[in-house]
A = this chain, B = another copy of it.
Amino acid sequence: MTPTLHNDRLLRALLRQPVDVTPVWLMRQAGRYLPEYRATRARAGSFMTLCQTPELACEVTLQPLARFPLDAAILFSDILTVPDAMGLGLSFSEGEGPQFARPLRSASDIDRLGVPDPEVELRYVMDAVRLIRRELAGQVPLIGFAGSPWTLATYMVEGGSSKDYARIKALSYDQPERLHRLLTVTTEAVTAYLNAQVAAGAQALMVFDTWGGILTPRAYRAFSLTYMARIVAELPRAAEGRPVPVILFTKGGGAWLEDLAATGCDAIGIDWTVDLGAARRQVGARVALQGNLDPTALYATAPVIRQQVAQLLDDFGPGPGHVFNLGHGIQPGIDPDRVRALVEAVHDLSAPLHTGGRA
Chain A residues with CB under 8 Å of chain B are: 164-166, 169-170, 173-174, 213-220, 252, 254-255, 272-275, 294, 296-297, 299-301, 304, 308, 311, 331, 333
Nearest CB in chain B to that of A170: its residue: B299
**Residue contact B252 to A294, C-beta cutoff 8 Å:** no
Could you say which residues of chain B place their CB within 8 Å of the CB of A216? Answer: 272-273, 294
Could you say which residues of chain B place their CB within 8 Å of the CB of A169? Answer: 294, 296-297, 299-300
**Residue contact B252 to A273, C-beta cutoff 8 Å:** yes
Could you say which residues of chain B place their CB within 8 Å of the CB of A272? Answer: 216
**Residue contact A174 to B300, C-beta cutoff 8 Å:** yes
Cα(A166)–Cα(B33), bound, Å: 14
Could you say which residues of chain B place their CB within 8 Å of the CB of A299? Answer: 166, 169-170, 173
Could you say which residues of chain B place their CB within 8 Å of the CB of A252? Answer: 252, 273
Contact of A296 among B166, B254, B294 (CB under 8 A): B166
Task: Give, as a whole number of angstroms, the nearest-CB distance from A10 to chain B.
Answer: 24
Contact of A173 among B214, B255, B297 (CB under 8 A): B297
Could you say which residues of chain B place their CB within 8 Å of the CB of A297? Answer: 169, 173
Task: Give, as a whole number of angstroms, the nearest-CB distance from A229 to chain B.
Answer: 19
Cα(A296)–Cα(B215), bound, Å: 10
Nearest CB in chain B to that of A304: its residue: B173
Could you say which residues of chain B place their CB within 8 Å of the CB of A311? Answer: 218
Contacts A254-B255, A331-B166 given; indicate if A213 touches B296 (C-beta within 8 A): no
Task: Give, as a whole number of angstroms, the nearest-CB distance from A236 to chain B.
Answer: 33
**Residue contact B255 to A300, C-beta cutoff 8 Å:** no
List 25 interface pairs A-B (beta carbons < 8 Å), by A numbering: A164-B333, A165-B296, A166-B296, A166-B299, A166-B331, A166-B333, A169-B296, A169-B299, A169-B300, A170-B299, A173-B300, A173-B301, A173-B308, A174-B300, A174-B304, A215-B273, A215-B294, A216-B272, A217-B274, A218-B311, A220-B273, A252-B273, A254-B254, A255-B273, A255-B275
Cα(A220)–Cα(B254), bound, Å: 15
Cα(A23)–Cα(B174), bound, Å: 26
Cα(A252)–Cα(B273), bound, Å: 9
Could you say which residues of chain B place their CB within 8 Å of the CB of A218? Answer: 311
Pairs A-B, 7 closest by C-beta atoms: A173-B300, A169-B296, A170-B299, A217-B275, A173-B304, A174-B300, A216-B272
Nearest CB in chain B to that of A165: its residue: B296
Could you say which residues of chain B place their CB within 8 Å of the CB of A215? Answer: 273, 294
**Residue contact B331 to A164, C-beta cutoff 8 Å:** yes
Cα(A273)–Cα(B297), bound, Å: 25
